Amino acid sequence: MFPRKENILLIKVEKFTDRIIKLDAYLKSKHVDNYIINQISRAGTSIGANINEGVYAQSKADFVSKYSIALKEANETSYW
């Protein structure tokens, strides 16, 4: 893997992803409906994936697109 500069957003998103994974396990232990758990997991973990893609964007438009998708996924996670 390429070394990367310290990026506070990536650090926070990685911590958020870890919390989403722990939340997933907790909700499973409480027998919450799998549909809801899957929605939270998909939306919550894709935030980091999109931000990471944005870091290596090919253009300014690509960067804005990836970060916009990450924002939408954050809003969806908040909903669930």
Containing H/E element for 49? helix 34-55
* All residues at 6 or more sequence positions from 39 whose CB lies less than 8 Å from its CB, including other chains: 76, 80
**Predicted TM-score of the model (pTM):** 0.84
Both tokens of 11, joined, read 């650090």
pLDDT digits (tens, 9 = 90+) for 26-42: 999 999 999 999 999 99
Distances, alpha carbon 28 to alpha carbons 15, 24, 61, 64, 77, in Å: 20, 6, 39, 35, 17
Residue 59: what pLDDT? 96
Q: Which residues of the chain have pLDDT under 70?
A: 1-5
